[in-house]
Structure 1
């Protein structure tokens, strides 16, 4: 039964492709015939203008006058509102532009009533008035999105952004004029050949070439915008480098798609094409703006975890909305051609989008809660974090591990939910995974031992991130903690991965405090009391040093003669310091003792070499 259904689907697909090919060939013939009839259609357009009591040049003059009056009113009102409200921020300027557009629209309709009488001439002038207002709002929106983050950029970056806005405004204005011109031809019932000539030759090809030129000229600005703020991931950097090429490739594909749709009699609206192009240019800037807004919510203690997670999810929501708009614009004609039920596709897509949105929100909720919990572990703003992998608290060690487990669980549940939403029976999959897990439990005793041992190590708080430990197999700074193993970074940079089951005994050198012991071999006739005073004075000097006293818990003291070996006195000294911070104090003490011994004539004796008397 399933093989028969698959064969029927393949047959219907082939039939649909053949139908599209035939439709495309017939569409090419129809466009060629229409282009041959352009002179006759132009004469018919002049006759329509004459019957309405106007002419082409006079109507063009009225259009230019209407656009000039409306644009002039827009500029004057916008400047007046900007000065009256002291609109210095980008948000206020954008709101002032909307208010100016509303007032200019009323003025434009009044002006068209004065310039011409009722009928097609008035509808034409009002069309151009509305197009002028719409173009102004589109340009204001583009400027708002591109320049919203200008305050956080360098002066040179702001100059490049202004250049991008200027070049893009020229392209958008040209495209809007082209859309209005095509709408005017339709309003006057111009023939398909004349409309096709204007759409493709006078508007489409120049607009695409201008758009591609803007993308190439401002490729570095677009690449920086697509890269986003630092730190940047590797995939984001690669995407940023190829973003201008992606835009140009999108323009080529869009041009071919629009021409193919036009040939088959399913022309895309010019406004939809323009909107899609602007979306591609504005997406990185919009993402950077929302990302900055979400980052402020994450860093602000006055915003709750739920609100901060909602801000983080807003970036994903924008991606979903943009993909939905693109699918609506470009996939609908293709679905109509193949006979796909758009209602069912829309319902399935909406359910899938809800699952993805819930997954993104839960993911960001876990990440935000972990970030808030780890905030005390991070250095304060302006603080010089000399050691990037400084030891963390127990909370700072457990939170990243729990966060990773929580995110992995969310992804698994999301995948199962997606499979259920598309009609896949997941119970056999869950049963199979359970049996697989049981087999692993019986067959991989070492893995179970590693996981259980790691659980008890973490419960006992045996080690934390950034601490220096020594196990039976390796020693180093704890750099990564996973479910099965711990990674230790050695003093020479080597990274050792030690499974928990093989750790054995742990020596932690970074917990609480350490006692550092020093030993000095001096001549037998050395004044021991003099050495004691020298070491005591050095200990007092170290304790008075503000840089070293912070980590010093007990000052350097002499413990006297520890032992006598081969006619040599071995004098011991010690101090107590914070764990992991004793090295600087030790170096300072040894340097000072070396200088003091030379100044006071105290002779150090090297340790004698032992020789095997039978070696001869």
Structure 2
């Protein structure tokens, strides 16, 4: 952009009217509409050159990138001309020969010392490997015992066992780090000695400045290549599997280290050329052309290496759930083709660098390395967090012995907690990768209104669900503990009442928790919950008003159950029906009467309940005897029968008291009525009563107890002949002689009872 064009653009942006017209024009252009149908304004006239300038700049950059790429092959001719000149010039040839001869001599001596130290350090390396191997064997035994104890059972326990196994394996690899570091120090020590000898030789021996520089450049390039190789070789440790940090097989470790030994040579050559070109007065264009050619060869070797290990990486990337679902089959197929985008990325890197796109090559390498590092850290962190989660959900054995259901409840929530943890890790990993790629994701979630609202909603939902689950489980644990306390203290009635009410309490608590969590999440997302709550309240009031009887059923039933007024198996009299309670719900009670009919009675129809199965029953004995009978004798007979029944092992637990003589309830012309009571166990009064009357009847007959016998008399009007009941009319009078003591106006009838 020229100075005049920059001034024109600055004038447009400084003038509010022209700036608004500029924005309006750009808006129309983005929508695919013509900028204007009227005469162009002054601002538009100034903007058009700026837009043309932008397109011109893009074309210019494309041409420059193409020229840079094609210039590689032209610049190689400069290297060939420089080589011919150096070879043809005797002085230059002698100078090069002298510099490289001395350098090679010093480096050869240093290499001999290096490999001598390598041979001398084999013993410490072997002892270090043996110590790591012994520790590995002990850890494997402990790992097998732990994993075998955790494996088996349902899917949740199997998932937890797999997580625990991965955690143990990850910790085992992390525990190898000190041994690997020691291995690296022992391996790098000869390289350090090599550098020390070279530096000391160049300092002690009188040499030309050019020869010293060449020696140091070659030595430093070799040292850099060796350190890069030893860094990867320490991670793979092909000859020492017990200190291997990267999970790979022995064949894979040997393969990768061999290829790495070749691939690491290219950076060393690049360093040499970039420095030696300046020493021997090679033009920068020629040096750059050689470096690009070497980098091209490096990328070709990397592509060959990717092709060589494509099957190994594909097998490692195959998901464990392959074949279970179509999405996993797709992921497995994509994993088998990983080498195609990898080779494409490798070749694209070289084209980007060769075309000299500003910062493109380093940006791709940097983002790729950071992405791989983020994925590795995420994987290690996931394994460790999964193991910590498994430890958190594992109930203490002492506590599990007291409450066996606690571990089962924890296992129930483990898959959901693991899914939530996996989602959080994936989210954080994606955010970290997008930040590495230059996308400001963190700023979006922290400063953008929509992003912060989404993040706040997710955090609120997680916290709300966690608190809701905690409240739910605490209430359930308290209820179960109270139920166990009632059962262990022989409070069967309270235990039954609590067991009956527990489903209702859990349902109400669950409904409250779901409503609170839903309302909280919706409000956090930004949805106005006031109309929702108002509508729900109005709807609830309308439903309650329209179904008053149903609401009354629920309320009465709840308090009936809470107050333990009735239980399944009780004999009750309610709603005009007597029978056994077969089922209880929050709304109805089902009673089976003695005829076998099932009566379903809503609680709104229950005004009172007579429960025969609570506390005790009482038999009220009413015995009517003749007035001439000895009443204490009759009472003694009944008391003796009750005493005899209490000594019977069958009836002894059914009878709570002896015969309680309540005296004479009534004495008149109909005889004397004796009143007494017998207290029995609940629901046993009928059986005791029938047995009591059976036995007392035999005792009364044996003791000739006199009972009152009612008699009926019929009278006839005066002048009407008397006849006996059952006599045929018109029968002779002498057929039925009159009793000597009978009143002539009366006739006796047959006894009625």
Give the TM-score, by structure 1 length. 0.49
**Which of the pair has more CA radius of gyration?**
2
Give the TM-score, by structure 2 length. 0.42
